[in-house]
Amino acid sequence: MKYLVFSCLLLPLGAILIFSCQQDDDLTDPVGEPELHAAFAEFDPDNFTIYLDGDEVVLESNGLPNHTSPYWSNTTARTAVDPMGNTLTTPAAASNHPLFVEPSVTSFEQMAPGNIDDFNGSYTLRVPASPVLATTSSATGLGPIGMAVSGSMIYDDQEGPNVPLDNAIPSLDYTAAHTGPQSYHYHLETKAWSDDDEKLIGIISDGFFLYGRKCNATGTYPTDLDASGGHTSTTQHTTEAEYHYHIQNEKYLNQFYILFPGNYQGTPNAIR
């Protein structure tokens, strides 16, 4: 009888001790740690290194695109005159780069100076793992405003200080990109991988993703976009609705679609 009574007394105590240990373990388990968004899997791994640093995502790019372009080094020399009247020469290479293609929508005479492989770039962007909308929007500026999944940079609808993009249209290649002071970069819809569809274009420097003209949630053009082309819905990368941008389905010069003509709706971060 003493043994039975002793056993009965121990069992509740053991249960209490086990429960107590489980409670302590629960208190020390990490909760809500950030994870890399599924969309980052589409960024070219040969041109990007992407990782978490605390509650931030760090994107490091070499600035090179993963597709063909007439702006890769080639055996044709060309010249261009800059806004100051200086003649800039891009010398011929000994051989064509494997990704070089002949210009189609532009010409050697109209192309900007410099080849893609002349730019030994290194670009870093740090964004929140969970970006939030800012209280007020802010204007974009010159230089890179985002990173495309290809590895190259995204620019806005300006070609220079008080210089509209109209002036540079003849120099753009078939995927609406050209070389510039800092890098090969895109201004308009990137037809190398997205043409009137819902595909991921890249990430804007405020941390929100930029998609093509169509919305994955509806299969057609979104009708609820804000002034920056943003709205909240599911995408092909998430089952929960989240804010993101789209290329707006509004023609520029009757034939083009600007990648990002609006303001940042989040807090922009520098691309260095």
pLDDT in tens, 150-181: 999 999 998 888 788 998 999 999 999 999 88
Is residue 139 within 8 Å of residue 205, measured between CB atoms?
no
Q: Would you call 250 helix, strand, or coil by DSSP?
A: coil
Looking at per-residue confidence, does 52 or 83 come out higher?
Answer: 52
Q: Which of 163-172, 206-215, 228-237 has the lowest average pLDDT?
A: 163-172
In the DSSP assignment, the letter for residue 118 is: G
- CA nearest to 147, candidates 34, 237, 271: 271
* Confidence check: pLDDT of 29 > 90: no
Give me the pLDDT at residue 179, please. Answer: 95
Distance, in Å, from the CA atom of 164 to the CA atom of 142, rounded to the nearest integer, reads 11
d(CA 38, CA 198): 16
pTM of the model: 0.86
Share of the chain above pLDDT 90, in %: 79
Which amino acid appears at position 122 of this protein? S
Task: State the pLDDT at residue 160.
Answer: 81
* Residue burial 9-33, b: 16+ Cβ < 10 Å; e: rest: eeeeeeeeeeeeeeeeeeeeeeeee
pLDDT at 16 over 70: no
Residues recorded for the chain: 272
What is the full DSSP assignment across 18-81? HHHHHHHHHHHS--S-----GGGGGS-TTTEEEEEETTEEEEEE----SS-BTTS--S--EEEE
**In this predicted structure, what is the pLDDT of residue 167?**
86
**Cα gap 102→134, rounded to integer Å:** 44
Which residues lie closer than 8 Å to 29 by C-beta, 6 or more apart? none
Q: How confident is the model at residue 146 (pLDDT cuts 50, 70, 90)?
A: very high
Which tokens in the block code for residue 135?
Answer: 């209280």
Tell me which DSSP letter residue 220 carries: S
Tell me what the mean pLDDT of segment 100-112 comes to: 96
Q: Is 1's pLDDT higher than 60?
A: no
Is pLDDT above 60 for 21? no
Confidence band for 31, pLDDT divided at 50, 70 and 90: low
Which letter does DSSP use for residue 168 in this model?
Answer: G
pLDDT for the residue 84: 76
149/264 Cα distance (integer angstroms): 19
Q: What is the pLDDT of residue 30?
A: 52
Region 77-91: mean pLDDT is 87
